[in-house]
Amino acid sequence: MTAQLIVEFTYFVLAVFIGIEVISKVPTILHTPLMSGSNAIHGIILVGALVIASTAHDTLTVVIGFVAVLLASTNVAGGFVVTDRMLEMFKSRRPGGPSDAP
C-alpha cells in the first residue's frame, strides 16, 4: 500500500506542475473563453468524484472523497460564474437595445 501511495502522490505532484506550466502559458485574452469551455470537463470531474466518494469504505477515503466533491462543485460553479460574466460583456448597454427587451 505504501509504494502505491508514493506512486500516486508522485503522479499528483507531476500533474500539479504540468497544470501550472500549461495555465501560465495561456494568454490573458484566451483565459476566460478557455475557462468557460472547460465547464463540461469540470462536470465530468464532479461525476468522477461522486463515484469515487460513493465507493469509500474507511474514514480517510470518505474525507478525501468529500473534499474532491466539494472542490469539483466549486470549480463547476466558478466556471458558470465566469461564463455569465463573459456573456454580460457582449450585451448592449444602449437604451432600447436588445438587452432592454422584456
Distance CA 31, CA 50 (A): 27
In a domain, 69, yes or no: yes
Count of the separate structural domains present in the chain: 1
In a domain, 4, yes or no: no
Distance CA 80, CA 9 (A): 30
pLDDT greater than 90 at residue 101: no
In a domain, 5, yes or no: no
User: Please, which pLDDT band fits residue 42 given cuts at 50, 70 and 90?
Assistant: confident
CB 82 within 8 A of CB 35: yes
Q: Which three cell numbers stand for residue 75?
A: 470549480
In a domain, 41, yes or no: yes
In a domain, 51, yes or no: yes
Q: What is the pLDDT of residues 46-64, one digit of tens each?
A: 888 898 888 888 888 889 8
pLDDT higher at 16 or 80: 16
In a domain, 9, yes or no: no
User: Please, which pLDDT band fits residue 10 given cuts at 50, 70 and 90?
Assistant: very high
pLDDT higher at 53 or 91: 53
- Which value, in Å, is the radius of gyration of the alpha carbons in the chain? 19
User: Please, which pLDDT band fits residue 20 given cuts at 50, 70 and 90?
Assistant: confident
In a domain, 50, yes or no: yes
In a domain, 68, yes or no: yes
Instruction: Give the dihedral of Cα atoms 60, 63, 66, 70; nearest 10 deg.
Output: -130
Give the domain extent around 57.
Answer: 27-90
**36 burial class (0-12, 13-18, 19+ CB within 10 angstroms)?**
middle
